[in-house]
Amino acid sequence: MQPLKALFLNTSLKSSEEPSHTEVFMNDVQVHYNKLGVESEIVRLADYKIALGVQEDMGGEDEWPKIFEKVKAADILIIGTPLWLGEKSSLATQTIERLYGSSGKTNDKGQAVFYNKVGATVITGNEDGAKHAAASLLYGLSHIGFLVPPNVDAYWVGEAGPGKSYMDAGRDNEFSKKAIRRLAYNTYHLAGMLKNTPIPAEGNTLA
């Protein structure tokens, strides 16, 4: 069997010229993927021109189609987001909008194109908002066809108020480490299962 492919979409508001706590968190997931033989790639969405809208290709300078090719090739999609005012980032919201724009597209069996892929989310913030952002992102993915394995919301947030971010806080919160491990293993387990045994195209085609 070909190695499983995981795609991380980092929706930090900062382009890759700046360090991203969310990206470092993704690196901590990649440590497990490397051991498991899962190939992974991190894409910093703020480096791309992503047009507003809900078409698969908005034309002009829109670079979403490049990203979407990577999504189609991936077995595992992990959306990563920072938190602002307790919410996922605007780029995370836009990611769901753009994915949703292809929700009418089908695979060769007539199911939504996202079937047999697994979705997950990683979140970092100074404080508060991770579960709310996770619920929104995992729901969005599930609603358009991704499978959501158990325990695929891994996050770190600090105590209420301004304070350290993930890297500054030392990357060694036990709770977050366990969540990272479970996310890595469960996306691996379930993506493997779906590769061996795809969801039958019975009762779930779009037509």
Q: Which of 30, 40, 94, 165 binds a second copy (CB under 8 A)?
A: 94
What sign does the dihedral 41-45-49-52 (CA atoms) show? positive
CA torsion, points 70, 76, 82, 87, in degrees to nearest 10?
Answer: 110
Q: What are phi and psi of 183, to 5 degrees?
A: -60, -45
Q: Which of 68, 146, 165, 191 binds a second copy (CB under 8 A)?
A: 146
Distance of closest approach, residue 111 Cβ to a second copy, in angstroms: 8
Binding to a second copy by residue 77, rule CB under 8 A? no
Burial environment of residue 24 by CB neighbours within 10 A (0 to 12, 13 to 18, 19 or more): middle
Q: Are strands 118-127 and 153-158 parallel, antiparallel or unpaired?
A: parallel
Q: Which region, judged by CB under 8 A, interacts with a second copy, from 2-10, 23-31, 63-71, 176-184?
A: 176-184
Interface of this chain with a second copy, residues 177 to 206, rule: CB under 8 A: 181-182, 184-186, 188-190, 193, 197, 199-200, 202-204
Applying CB under 8 A, does 80 fall inside the site for a second copy?
A: no
Q: State the minimum distance, in angstroms, from the CB of residue 162 to a second copy.
A: 7
The answer to whether 27 contacts a second copy (rule: CB under 8 A) is no
Rounded distance, CA 85 to CA 65, Å? 30
Establish if 44 lies at the interface with a second copy (CB under 8 A).
Answer: no
- The number of residues that bind a second copy (CB under 8 A) is 75
Torsion of CA 128, 130, 136, 142, to 10 degrees: -170
Q: Output phi, psi for 4, to 5 deg.
A: -70, 150
Q: Which is nearer to a second copy, 2 or 162 (CB)?
A: 162
| 115 binds a second copy, rule: CB under 8 A | yes
